[in-house]
Structure 1
Amino acid sequence: MSTSTRTTPSTGAATTVAPRRKLGVIAVAFLIVAASAPLTVIAGGVTSTFAVTHIAGVPLSFLLLAAALAIFAIGYAAMSRFITNAGAFYSYVAQGIGRPAGVGASMLALVAYNMMQMGIYGMFGFQMSMLISEKTGLDVPWWIPVLVCIAIVGVMGVNRVDLSAKVLGVLVALEFLVVIVFDVVAFTVPTAGFSTAPLDPAMLFVPGVGAVFAFGIAAFMGFESAAIYGEESKDPRRTIPRATFLAVAVIGVFYSVSAWALSLAVGIDKIVDPAGITADEAGPPLFFGFVAEHMGTMWVDLMSVLFITSIFAALVSFHNAVARYLFSLGREGVLPAKLAAVRTTSGAPWAGSLAQTSVAALVIVAFAIGETGWNPDNGPYPVLTLFTWLTNSGALGLVLLMAVVSVAVIGYFRRDGRGVGVGSRLVAPIISALALAVVFVLILMNFDVLLGQAEPDFTTFLLPALVILPGIIGVIWGFRLRATKPNVYRQIGHGTDSGASLGSATAADDATAGRVG
């Protein structure tokens, strides 16, 4: 006898299959932390933050952001107990504010997550081409390893999600290990002596603090993705909140300590001096230069490889997030129903995964065609454009999205508290909405700093617009669906009556899944 039903997205023809829930708290936490990519954040993100902002209070910013995001997570976790949907934020906003706002949130999320992933691909291509050049002498264009990586990530995206969790778990554990070793060495032999100045608020709250928060919030991105795996978790009501709080705590403390260690490794005076860091030293070389001097070439080689695997882990995690948003939107009819197709053997959203893979490949090809090569003033093209532009833009979108979700929590519990305390359903969401709104405004005000611009130019305004406008268009599309497709409109953010879910398969995809892999 069957235990649940499954349907084709297009026809609703029912067959039967039991959903396979595989993920526990630790597995989901690894998927979350993998998106933040610990070694990438320390060697790439934190070093870039110091190099661009010249603000010594970066370590303190991580603690403050962790506190703000933990407050956000209180309301978010309370809502996750009652809504289990692969669309996560999309469904939260739809049920808490309204369906048109939910569609707008889904478009904002898709663009933001895609921007984060595309930006990280730029860093991956640069690091891989540099590693190949150093070890073999071959000059491989950055976009070739990126396209290979896209294919590998795509294959993982159509296989069992617990396989991704296991692979990412090993990579993340190794990242933590090598960064801890770096931290110990940096605290033991600080370049200019031991100092607690990076934890002093006066070292953080100076002009340009918005840029610090923008880089910092990007380091946390992925922590909010726990709810995306709700339909694949063993016990969503417990797994999602616990994994979220665990990830926020680990990320906040670990990044703060490691950023502090980095500031001591380089020297605080050098980091805050605009002339103290040359173009050749900015970014990852700050990290690897200290490793080479104090730990030896073996550690440089090891960390270089793990730096690349760290980027890879983040790419897999963001890919999974986008694929599940596409699945949810396809299942509910907001996007083409074919995107809701799920593999028979793995229960993974193969159609959404394939769509995301195709978009990634097209963007990389477009950047490769438009490549201008090496810019002596700004550094390598893929990092300058893909990584700097898109990751910061994606972070901006996700901050806005989380602020909207905080408001949605208040709306969801407004008429029925469902037994949730006033602190979780009202006080915490109000605080987090205000805090995230402030961070959003600070990022906008300092966006030219993020892009390394002496003066704002066209891109200063274009990139934020590329994030925000899809959300507005989504709201308009939601109202359009209400007028033209009332049956689809009723399902927005509420799942479907078909029973289609992740961890189960659709009848239409049985034959196709074999061809996909």
Structure 2
Amino acid sequence: MSTTSGSPPVSGRLGTAHILFLIVAAAAPLSAMVGTVPLAFAFGDGAGVPAAFLFAGVTLLCFSAGYAVSARRTGGSGGFYASVADGLGRPPAVAAGYMALLAYNCATIGLAGALGYFTQLVLAAHGLTVSWEWCAAVGLVLTAVLGYREIALSARVLALLMLGEIGVLAALDVAILVRHGVHALPAASFSPHTAAGPGVGVSLMFAFVSFIGFESAALYGKEARNPERSVPRATYAAAALIAGFYALTSWLAVGAIGPDQVREVAGKQMGDLFFGLGDDFLGTAGSTILQVLLCTSLFAATLALHSAANRYAQVLAQDGLLPRTLAAEHQRHGSPHRASVWQSVLTALVLAGFAVAGLDPYADLTTSMLGLGTLGIVTLQALAALSVLGLRLRAGHGHWWKETLAPLLGFAGLATSVWLVVGNFDMLTGSPSKVIAALPWLLPLVALGGLLYAVRLRSAHPLRYRELGTRHTAAPATPDLSPTPSGDRHARSQ
């Protein structure tokens, strides 16, 4: 026997550092610098982008304060599904669970396509001709193997990859500082005129989406040694580390290019901007290392989001919202191995579909899937902040900062981010396609389907309905005060 669905999982393997690497990998620092920052420079407020990263970081630290309260109540597992169940009740939780499943799967598929595309380009630059399909297939096989095994192995692999990509960006930062001195840190980036100048909304959008994945710590509670402490610590540390690193590196890039020239230069060079900086400050070898590590960064992000998607599938299956076979855990590895296989097969089928149709792996696949996944995750972050406020209102008391002001500020910032992403979705995806522009409508449709299914369960299967979200919370889920069939007194008493 390799699986179990009734016995407790193999747990206690992840410490704070392991979880930190898992969630920083999902944010993909090098990929964000290469792919997102030039867009923010070109279409946002130019030299004010570093301030946008700091604002996003402070907002997400506020979100983390409230989310940590939720993580402690839920035992650090279940992610957005458990948090929303605890604060807003079962129907919104089912909607959030299905939205999370869609968002994390789309983000994983989009990153797998990006991995194939950029690996093909890097190999071609060195005289090797390999199709993007084969590059993506190799990455998917490695992801599937690691996703099937224990999460600690993935954490160790991601730690090595993270050290590589953060190391090369740190080397670039140091090289810029050495050459330009204090002029590499222009005060103009944080002046009100620049930081709040034209295009600030676009800069904030790209800043917020660059943090995608940092919130996934709350999915690893069952595999953590001390989830009540390690999950909140990892979330705080990830938000602070990512914000500081993004702000510093983008600030130094502004200093290297020049505050007055950065928008124009970024508009011309786009994805080549940081490779050009690498060639200038680290030499040809440094630029080559940046290119290779971009591929490993995309692989790390694919693996991290694959792991998150698996755990959402497992949690929903445990509550009967997906086939229960997906809830099974490997007896030796303690991994949701069936959910991992399902996610790998789904990714392979979507990649194959795009390949057979002759669609572009980046312009069609990556932009559409990653754009939809990003919007879904930011929406869920806002919903999780709102759930902490819901819990505070229901309890009638709570800590003034962690359970009131911090989640309120986090919700305000994240709701603004959702509005910016929806309003600039074509810019986020870089695609003029009307089909891709219509993708955001999938999220409210999936949410509505989840709400209706929960309502149906409440009337047709009240005992099953009563169990939704409760296995992931330290206290009963938010009471549902709507009518319950009279034949089930237990359900009515909840």
Task: Name the TM-score, length of structure 2 as normaliser.
Answer: 0.89
Q: Deviations over 1:17-41 (max 9, x none)?
A: 6742111111111111111111111
Alignment pair present for 1:393 and 2:372: yes
Q: CA RMSD in A?
A: 2.5
1-structure distance, mates of 2:180, 2:117: 29
The one of 21, 40, 62 equivalent to 2:53 is 62
Match of 2:293 in 1: 306
Match of 1:473 in 2: 449
2-structure distance, mates of 1:159, 1:19: 12
Query: Equivalent residue of 2:412, what SS?
Result: helix
Query: Equivalent residue of 1:359, what SS?
Result: helix
Cα shift at 1:270: 3.4
Alignment pair present for 1:171 and 2:145: no
- Letter aligned with residue 347 of structure 1: G
Match of 2:399 in 1: 421
2-structure distance, mates of 1:239, 1:386: 36
Where do 1:13-162 residues align within 5 Å?
19-53=10-44, 55-84=46-75, 86-135=77-126, 137-162=127-152
Query: Equivalent residue of 1:35, what SS?
Result: helix
2-structure distance, mates of 1:495, 1:276: 49
Where do 1:176-255 residues align within 5 Å?
176-189=166-179, 194=184, 195-255=186-246
- Letter aligned with residue 112 of structure 2: Y
Aligned length: 471
Query: Equivalent residue of 2:46, what SS?
Result: coil
Cα shift at 1:465: 1.1
2-structure distance, mates of 1:383, 1:103: 32
Q: Deviations over 1:389-436 (max 9, x none)?
A: 332332221221111111211222434378x52321122222222221
Query: Equivalent residue of 1:333, what SS?
Result: coil
Change (3 A) 1:79 1:44: same
1-structure distance, mates of 2:459, 2:353: 37
Cα shift at 1:193: 5.8
Match of 2:335 in 1: 348
Q: Which has the higher helix share?
A: 2
8 Å contact 1:49–1:212 — kept in the other structure?
yes
Q: Deviations over 1:116-161 (max 9, x none)?
A: 22222232112211122222x3322212111221111011011111
Task: Name the TM-score, length of structure 1 as normaliser.
Answer: 0.85
8 Å contact 1:86–1:327 — kept in the other structure?
no
2-structure distance, mates of 1:90, 1:300: 42
Alignment pair present for 1:358 and 2:349: no
Match of 1:445 in 2: 423
- Letter aligned with residue 108 of structure 1: M
Identity between Structure 1 and Structure 2 (%): 35
8 Å contact 1:218–1:392 — kept in the other structure?
no
Alignment pair present for 1:369 and 2:356: yes
Alignment pair present for 1:431 and 2:409: yes
Change (3 A) 1:56 1:74: same
2-structure distance, mates of 1:459, 1:41: 25
1-structure distance, mates of 2:212, 2:421: 15
After TM superposition, the structure 1 stretch with the greater mean CA deviation from structure 2, 349-358 or 256-265, is 256-265
8 Å contact 1:191–1:264 — kept in the other structure?
no
Structure 2 unaligned spans of 5+? 474-494
Alignment pair present for 1:323 and 2:307: no
Cα shift at 1:225: 0.6
Match of 1:488 in 2: 464
8 Å contact 1:123–1:382 — kept in the other structure?
yes
Cα shift at 1:64: 0.2
2-structure distance, mates of 1:187, 1:467: 44
Cα shift at 1:495: 1.8
Q: Deviations over 1:230-269 (max 9, x none)?
A: 1111111111111111111100001000011222333433
8 Å contact 1:328–1:495 — kept in the other structure?
no
The one of 245, 270, 291 equivalent to 1:282 is 270
Match of 1:507 in 2: none
Change (3 A) 1:83 1:71: same
Change (3 A) 1:69 1:48: same
2-structure distance, mates of 1:50, 1:123: 21
Cα shift at 1:88: 1.2
Q: Deviations over 1:367-390 (max 9, x none)?
A: 212335xxxxxxxx3222333333
Match of 2:278 in 1: 291
Query: Equivalent residue of 2:196, what SS?
Result: coil
Change (3 A) 1:138 1:213: same
2-structure distance, mates of 1:241, 1:39: 24
Structure 1 unaligned spans of 5+? 1-5, 373-380, 498-517
- Letter aligned with residue 375 of structure 2: L
8 Å contact 2:46–2:259 — kept in the other structure?
no
- Letter aligned with residue 443 of structure 1: V
Change (3 A) 1:24 1:40: same
8 Å contact 1:403–1:436 — kept in the other structure?
yes
1-structure distance, mates of 2:200, 2:365: 23
2-structure distance, mates of 1:253, 1:421: 27
Cα shift at 1:97: 0.7
1-structure distance, mates of 2:94, 2:119: 37
Cα shift at 1:163: 0.8
